[in-house]
Structure 1
Amino acid sequence: MTTKLKAHIVSRGKAQGDALVSTQPISFLGSIDVKTGIVVEKGHELFGLSIKGKVLVFPGGKGSTVGSYSIYQLKKNGAAPMAMINIRTEPIVAVGAIISDIPLVDNLQENPVSLIKNGDKVLVDAILGSVEIL
């Protein structure tokens, strides 16, 4: 059975992939290796895992405005997530997703961090404004 939720569009696009879920905010500057997409922040629950090619589900960003450029570097290096889902997107992640052409949505009908599980197949439609758990 699929679950489909309405979502607010932040960065347009459409992508499908396996979910990688974090209950913790992510700083794209210093927390993720921009060459590999591997989370390098010690103590982060995703430490050692790669965001490359995943639908990255997390509450929102934290840290420096350079994080926007870090997201862009991830994309240029082929190490970016396919799409991102936030509880509430802040400007750093929004700008990074937009300049990198990464679909990004937030403000879902339900909390995506508690609803979506690691490995779930997820379709992010940031053209129509929906998230579908397949």
Structure 2
Amino acid sequence: MSGPVVLTGRGLVGGIAEGEALVTREAVSGWGGVEPRRGRIIESRHELVGQSFAGKVLVFPGAKGSSGWSGMFHMSRLMGSAPAAMVFTTMNTKIALGVVVTHVPAVTDLDRDPFAVIRTGDWLRVDADRGQVIVTPRSR
């Protein structure tokens, strides 16, 4: 990629946010998988263990685990450590409720595989009102 790329999908929670991408091909567990005070992944076998999603655009397949997923992400919002936005590929009830209570722009059902286009560190503009993710690649 040389310039910005636009991915189009379906916005779930409206709004516009920008931030650095934090990308994982692994689903994220909320209950026991994140530490909401700092917005860190703490699931010991997760590829992002120890990394913070606070203020970043979290690009991931979706939620796994219990219904506590939404509660942990809601707590991250209350503690000021929520992601700036979420971009994900697999819809389920956990993620649907989670993006609503987290109050961040969220986009899914993209026209291209986000894992083939977006890398950690890329700059993303998530326009969930229009269902768009604009990717500005970092220098590779």
More strand by share: 2
Please give the alpha-carbon distance, in whole angstroms, between the structure 2 residues aligned to 1:111 and 1:42.
Answer: 27
Partner of 2:37: 35
| Counterpart-to-counterpart distance in 2, 1:13 and 1:88 | 20
Per-residue CA deviation, residues 59-91 of structure 1 (Å, 9 max, x unaligned), is: 111011111111110000011100000012222
1:43 CA displacement: 1.3
Written as runs of structure 1 = structure 2, the 5 A alignment for 1:1-134 is 1-134=3-136
Distance in 2 between residues matched to 1:42 and 1:99, nearest whole Å: 25
| Percent identical | 35
| Cα distance between partner residues in 2 of 1:93 and 1:73 | 15
Deviations 1:20-77 (CA, angstroms, capped at 9, x unpaired): 0001000111111011111111110001100100100001110111111111100000
- Tell me, which stretches of 5 or more residues in structure 1 are unaligned? none
Q: Are the equivalent residues in 2 in contact too, given 1:68–1:96 (CA < 8 A)?
A: yes
Pairwise CA distance, 1:100: 2.2
* TM-score (normalizing by structure 2): 0.92
CA distance in 1, matches of 2:101, 2:62: 17
Aligned residues: 134
Aligned partner of 2:60: which letter?
F
| TM-score, with length taken from structure 1 | 0.96
Look up the SS of the partner of 1:109 in the other structure: coil
> How far apart, in 1, do the equivalents of 2:49 and 2:71 lie?
21
Secondary structure at the counterpart of residue 132 of structure 1: strand
In structure 2, the gaps of 5 or more residues are none
3-state SS of paired residue (1:15)? strand
Which 4+ runs in 1 deviate beyond 2 A? none
Kindly provide the amino acid, as one letter, of the partner of residue 8 in structure 2: K
User: 1:9 is paired with a residue of what secondary structure?
Assistant: strand
Q: Calculate the aligned-residue CA RMSD, in Å.
A: 0.9
Alpha-carbon distance in 2 for matches of 1:67, 1:5:
26
